[in-house]
Amino acid sequence: MHKLIHFADLRNFYKDMREALKAANRRAGAQQGLVTKARKKIEGLQQQLAAVEQERLELLAYRERAEQEAGQLAELLPRFRGRLLQVQQIEQALTNLADVKEAVDQQDRQSGSPTRQSMQDLKRAVENLLERADAVDFFEDEPESGHDPQS
């Protein structure tokens, strides 16, 4: 009988050992799953970091190009300001010519012909417009060398 009890104890012991082994394998599998999950997460974060680094490099290159273009524009800006002033002067001369032409047309309608003075005014307005237009160098290739186009 003693051997049967001993055998039953051994059987229970092995059963407990098998259960303990199963539990240990479950824990090991769970830990392995955590390791795999953590490894995948680390790889994903490394990919995101590489993408962010690539984007940073692209932004730095874009910034450098933008700074170069801004420098080029800064060189051209004084010339464009001069051209803008000249164009505004042409616009003013055109407005003046339109006003004088309207006055001449009214005189022509009222009295049948414009006066000598109004014709002189019209001629001066046309000459002023032509002078303003001739002063503009729209197609100049070389930058101005520090002189005013009006002088």
pLDDT of residue 62: 97
Region 75-95: mean pLDDT is 85
Judge contact between 79 and 147, C-beta under 8 A: no
Number of H helices and E strands in the chain, helices first, is 2, 0
For residues 3 and 92, which has the higher predicted lDDT (pLDDT)?
92
For residues 151 and 137, which has the higher predicted lDDT (pLDDT)?
137
pLDDT of residue 55: 97
Task: Please work out, in degrees rounded to the nearest 5, the angle formed at the alpha carbon of residue 109 by the alpha carbons of 103 and 114.
Answer: 55
pTM metric for this prediction: 0.43
- Three-state SS at 143: coil
The per-residue pLDDT for range 113-145, each reduced to its tens digit, is: 877 888 888 888 888 888 888 877 665 554 444
Judge contact between 129 and 66, C-beta under 8 A: no
Query: DSSP per residue over 10-28, as a string?
Result: HHHHHHHHHHHHHHHHHHH
The per-residue pLDDT for range 1-58, each reduced to its tens digit, is: 667 677 777 788 888 888 988 888 888 888 888 788 889 999 999 999 999 999 999 9
Q: Is 114 left (phi over 0), alpha (psi -120 to 50) or beta?
A: beta
Q: Compute the distance between CA of residue 62 and CA of residue 124 in angstroms, rounded to an integer.
A: 53
pLDDT of residue 140: 55
Domain residue ranges of the chain, discontinuous segments joined by +: 2-135
